[in-house]
């Protein structure tokens, strides 16, 4: 029996933007020492740019400081995988130093957190257990990183 290769359909730009805007968790793949390193992150989109919160410790900070390109993967699927889609973005991560830009990203992240996530998730952001999303503010020492210089955007979906 001959196998037929079936390519997954590509998503158009509208579908890609829609998927990115409706999700809030992604995976970032870093170029590690001996092998790749991948980790999940909460993200938000403000004016078409993806923003992430990084704690100031862990492997990801070493990789971030090296400044090597990353891949960001965002997905959606049904529980039985009858439908699925994903987007991969390749680019560079950059620390947000502009106060207003940082504040907008933090406010959006807190808003999404309050609406869709448990306060228990704040532990992943470096906050003590028992914290509330109201504490996720721009006067906290929160590192906001953005995906910059996006070189490639690929979106694929179930047939």
Structural domains in the chain plus CATH codes: 13-157 (2.30.110.10)
What pLDDT was estimated at residue 58?
84
Distance of CA 126 to the CA centre of its chain: 17
Confidence at residue 32, expressed as pLDDT on a 0 to 100 scale = 84
From CA 128, how far away is CA 114, in angstroms rounded? 16
Using 50, 70 and 90 to split pLDDT, how confident is the model at 158? Answer: very high
> What is the structure's pLDDT at 15?
97
79-97 pLDDT, tens digit each = 999 999 999 999 999 999 9
Other beta carbons within 10 Å of 113: 22
For 93-123, how does the pLDDT look when each residue is reduced to its tens digit (9 = 90+)? 999 999 999 999 999 999 999 999 999 999 9
Cα angle, residue 70 at apex, residues 65 and 75 outer, rounded to 5°: 135
pTM for the structure as a whole: 0.91
Which residues touch 5 (CB under 8 Å, ≥6 apart)?
A: none
Cβ-contact 63, 32 below 8 angstroms: yes
- Tell me the mean pLDDT in the region 40-44: 95
Residue 64 main-chain phi, psi, to 5 deg: -60, -45
């Amino acid at each position: 029996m001959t196998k037929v290769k079936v390519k997954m359909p590509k998503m158009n730009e509208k579908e890609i933007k829609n998927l990115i805007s409706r999700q809030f968790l992604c995976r970032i793949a870093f170029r590690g020492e001996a092998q790749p390193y991948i980790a999940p992150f909460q993200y938000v989109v403000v004016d078409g740019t993806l923003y992430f919160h990084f704690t100031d410790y862990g492997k990801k900070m070493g990789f971030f400081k090296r400044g090597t390109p990353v891949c960001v993967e965002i997905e959606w699927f049904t529980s039985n995988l009858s439908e699925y889609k994903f987007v991969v973005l390749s680019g560079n991560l950059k620390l947000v130093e502009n106060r207003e830009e940082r504040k907008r990203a933090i406010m959006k992240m807190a808003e999404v957190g309050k609406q869709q996530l448990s306060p228990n998730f704040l532990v992943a952001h470096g906050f003590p257990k028992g914290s509330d999303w109201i504490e996720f503010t721009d006067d906290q020492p929160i590192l906001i990183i953005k995906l910059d210089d996006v070189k490639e955007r690929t979106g694929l979906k179930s047939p």
